[in-house]
Amino acid sequence: MPDLILYHNDACSKCRATAALLADRGLHPTVVEYLQTPPDAATLRDLLRKLAIPARELLRKSEPEYAALGLDDPALPDEAAIAAMVEYPRLIERPILVRGDRAVICRPPERALELIA
């Protein structure tokens, strides 16, 4: 199985549940604590390609920066959303599991099974 990478925030219950689901199956991904080591724009573009979603779908709408930065604008270009996530990484939806050239947002955590089954 290709290496697994888990973009993780230990304060997030969904992240902890996803990590536990993987561990229960004997899988131990490389964990990226994305708040301590934020992804750059190129990494975010690569994640979006693997997720096959537009940038705005990776934004956490519940974060204060989402409204404060006007990220709810439907005309917002992907590059503006990416720039916001680079500057404010807590805007990035989580957890994200990457395996090879595919990725899923593990909400719910069982979505991880799409990559490991």
Cis peptide before 2, with omega less than 30 degrees from 0? Answer: no
Indicate the length of the chain as a whole number.
117
**Is 106 one of the annotated active-site residues of the chain?**
no
Task: Give pTM, 2 decimals.
Answer: 0.94
For tokens 């270009």, the residue is 77
Question: For position 2, what pLDDT does the model report?
Answer: 61
Which letter does DSSP use for residue 99 in this model? Answer: E
Residue 39: CB atoms within 10 Å: 19
Q: Which tokens is 116 given? A: 């490991």
Question: For position 42, what pLDDT does the model report?
Answer: 98
> What are the structural domains of the chain?
4-116 (3.40.30.10)
Question: For position 10, what pLDDT does the model report?
Answer: 94
Which letter does DSSP use for residue 40 in this model? Answer: -
Partners of 105 in the beta sheet?
A: 96
Which letter does DSSP use for residue 27 in this model? Answer: -
Distance of alpha carbon 47 from alpha carbon 50, whole angstroms: 5
Given the residues 2, 10, 12, 41, select the one marked as catalytic.
12
* pLDDT, tens digit (0-9, with 9 covering 90-100), for 56-105: 999 999 999 999 999 999 999 999 999 999 999 999 999 999 999 999 99
